Amino acid sequence: MMALSSVPVVTDALNSINVHWSTGLKNHGIVTVQFSSESRDQALIAELITIRHLLFTRQIFGRKPISGKGYELHVFSGAIKKIAQGRSAKEHIVPYGLFLTGPMFGVQIKVMKQQHTDPLFGSSDTQQLDSIDASDNGNLIPQELWETPMGPLYITRHAIEQYEARLNERNRDPVANPERSFFNAMTSNRAYSFRKTTLPESVLKHKLAKYGDDNLEVWRNPETNLHVTILRKENPHGMLVTSYYRDA
């Protein structure tokens, strides 16, 4: 189990929170989260921003997570667990925690009122120091950006769930790790077989009615007959919204 511990600490500096973190006695540090103005729940927001930064930008466990399985967060703010469970009443905070129900779906969260002075967080001479501007996290979405042969894509949870369901229909035994299987299908060497394709008019009308007509693309891997639907709106990065198997 890969465990990340975090504790937000209010500093003397105006609108600045130090989030102490640790994955063990030899890997720990402080992320300073700076806010442009005073706002509610700054410590909670700073802890969420730090966790996402460490997991997906710094990749402190050596890779970008493709699911929350195998990960455990030891958090100071109990509201983080509520966000992951979809029970939070703090609507202004929820966007900062969308990654917990997106790429980190299934992560185990334990609320532990740790102190930044605990031995787990190490001594100051071995701390890794980092700084984040909270305003850079203002337009948050639950997905992370993935490099694929179809271009940089945001991949929705729905696409992964549909992949798991359709794959289980085709196989006798359930997929042990659907997230890993899905991302291998999207990013490994075999993903370079994907090609844009056209759909029967009746199927295309259904998808346009569901997703709109904002540059909808359908790609097919002829080796596996796996299809994916991608939306490309104003953002140059596409969003992979669903996946399914369909014979050519």
pLDDT digits (tens, 9 = 90+) for 73-118: 999 999 999 988 888 888 888 888 888 988 888 899 999 989 999 9
- Tell me the per-residue pLDDT of 31-57, one tens digit each, with 9 for 90 and over: 999 998 887 899 999 999 999 999 998
Collect all residues with Cβ–Cβ distance below 8 Å to 152 and sequence separation of at least 6. 145, 146, 236, 237, 238
Sign, CA torsion 62/67/72/75: positive
How confident is the model at residue 248, as a pLDDT? 61
Residues 199, 244: Cα–Cα separation, whole Å: 13
Q: What is the pTM of this model?
A: 0.74
Give the phi and the psi of residue 148 in degrees, each rounded to 5: -135, 165
Q: What percent of the chain is modeled with pLDDT above 70?
A: 93
Q: Tokens at residue 190, please?
A: 């075999």
For 85-177, where are the alpha helices, taking DSSP H only?
157-170
Burial of 87 (0-12, 13-18, 19+ CB in 10 A): exposed
Side chain identity at residue 131, one-letter code? S
Residue 138 above 60 pLDDT?
no
Question: Position 52: which residue type?
Answer: R
Nearest to 244 by CA among 168, 158, 162: 162
Give strand pairing partners of 226.
Answer: 221, 245
Contact 218, 227 (CB under 8 A): yes
Class of residue 50 by CB neighbours under 10 A (exposed 0-12, middle 13-18, buried 19+): buried
**Torsional sign, CA 234, 237, 242, 248:** positive
Give the distance from CA 174 to its chain's centroid.
24
Range with the poorest average pLDDT among 139-143, 180-184, 199-203:
139-143
How would you list the strands of the sheet with 226-231, edge to edge?
Answer: 145-148, 151-155, 238-245, 226-231, 216-221, 195-196
- Of 208, 68, 228, nearest in space to 151 by CA: 228
Query: What is the band of 9 on the pLDDT scale with cuts at 50, 70, 90?
Result: very high
Percent of the chain's residues with pLDDT above 90? 37
Residues 196-245: tens digit of each pLDDT: 988 777 777 777 776 666 588 899 999 889 999 998 876 668 888 889 88
